[in-house]
Amino acid sequence: MIDHSDLSGRVSDAPSNNWVYRILPRTLWPYAQLARWDRPIGWQLLMWPCFWSAALAANVAQHSGTFSWPVLLFHLLLFFVGSVAMRGAGCTYNDLVDHKIDMAVARTRSRPLPSGRVSRRQAKIFIAAQALAGLVVLLCFNGFAIVVGLSSLVFVAIYPFAKRFTNWPQFFLGLAFSWGALMGWAGQFGSLSISPVLLYIGAIVWTIGYDTIYAHQDKEDDTLVGIGSTALLFGDKTHGWLIALYGTALLCIFLAFLTAGVNVAAYSGLAIASFMLFRQVKVLDIDDVAQCLALFKSNNRVGLLVFAGLLLPLFFY
């Protein structure tokens, strides 16, 4: 039996050998845990739609002769920093909203707020610091992209409450987490078109799919505290739903590529990613907690493959 009240400063639902615990002073551990720096999969999944959009826009810029590697690399750096900062701010905000729920669930009781290692005031200050870092990143883009980026805060604010009034909180997560699919294009062109919108829709549906797999870890706890999730909604029909969700996501991303006129080489990454997604569905055991977490994390490789495919034409064509 795990003693969730004494884990030597760690949280029971996070890896114990992460760099956070090897490099940071112990006094900073609770803040790193609030921002989920010890669980990088979150910022990675937030980052990939940004990278897809930036690379998709770069392909279009290449066709018009306006492509610049320094601009693309600078934008990718901004999206990396922004993803880490805003994911951390979002997680801290989510923990503030879910403070009482986390205290009632054994798996989350050791987190910084319910365990008392960070006060609500300290957490709010930490949110402000991370949001300020995100704002600095955002201000490096053009005016249109700044407005687009600020608009995402509506969905960021709603998401933590969604599980209280709907069985589709994963949809609201998708709305917030996939916003980068619009940002990369907006950062390049100062406008939007059908291609980034299709990419955004595809990223939303992809997010619903992978977070449904993640949510199957928490079915018992979610039922206990009375909150909704697509894992509970889909139940034993999860495999069929995932086929529909992943199929729709791949179709939308394919159409985004098609409408943007990317070189055929760009589709190679999407093709391999398609295989990986449907393999997830084939092997998924919704009652195997460890496998659900592993399959959820494998979506980082899916995001990387789609991005790598989009980079190919920039190197060779």
For 252-267, the pLDDT digits (tens) are 999 999 999 999 999 9
- Domain membership of residue 269 (yes or no) is yes
pLDDT at 6 over 50: no
- Counting residues of the chain whose pLDDT is more than 70, the rounded percentage is 95
pLDDT at 104 over 80: no
pLDDT at 215 over 50: yes
pLDDT at 117: 92
The torsion angles phi and psi of 107, rounded to 5 degrees, stand at: -65, -30
279-288: long-range contacts at Cβ-Cβ below 8 A with a sequence spacing of 24 or more? 280/213, 280/242, 280/246, 281/239, 281/242, 281/243, 281/246, 284/213, 284/238, 284/239, 284/242, 286/216, 286/231, 286/236, 286/238, 287/216
Average pLDDT, the chain: 93
CATH number for the domain harbouring residue 207: 1.10.357.140
- Domain membership of residue 1 (yes or no) is no
Rounded distance, CA 87 to CA 240, Å?
A: 30
pLDDT at 183 over 60: yes
Which residues constitute the domain of residue 149? 23-316
pLDDT at 20 over 60: yes
Q: What is the dihedral of CA 241, 298, 11, 31, to 10 degrees?
A: -100
What DSSP state is assigned to residue 261?
A: T
pTM: 0.94
DSSP string of 142-157?
-HHHHHHHHHTHHHHH
Mean pLDDT, residues 267-286 taken together:
98
- Domain membership of residue 6 (yes or no) is no
Mean pLDDT, residues 213-226 taken together:
89
Q: How many CB atoms lie within 10 A of CB 140?
A: 15
- Domain membership of residue 289 (yes or no) is yes
pLDDT at 43: 97
Mean pLDDT, residues 28-40 taken together:
93
pLDDT at 5: 41
Tokens 């889909």, located at residue: 234
Rounded distance, CA 159 to CA 163, Å?
A: 8
- Counting residues of the chain whose pLDDT is more than 90, the rounded percentage is 84
Task: Give the chain's domain count.
Answer: 1
pLDDT at 235 over 70: yes
Beta strand spans in the chain (E): none
Rounded distance, CA 313 to CA 62, Å?
A: 9
Mean pLDDT, residues 150-159 taken together:
95
What does each C-alpha distance from 300 to 40, 55, 125, 204, 292 come to in angstroms? 10, 17, 30, 15, 14
Count of helices and strands (H, E) across the chain: 18, 0
Is residue 14 very low, low, confident or very high in pLDDT (cuts 50, 70, 90)? low
Is residue 8 very low, low, confident or very high in pLDDT (cuts 50, 70, 90)? low
- Domain membership of residue 9 (yes or no) is no
Is residue 188 very low, low, confident or very high in pLDDT (cuts 50, 70, 90)? very high
Is residue 1 very low, low, confident or very high in pLDDT (cuts 50, 70, 90)? very low
Q: Which range scores top for mean pLDDT: 25-39, 98-112, 249-263?
A: 249-263
Residue 109 identity (one-letter amino acid): R
Rounded distance, CA 136 to CA 134, Å?
A: 5
- Domain membership of residue 18 (yes or no) is no
- Domain membership of residue 12 (yes or no) is no
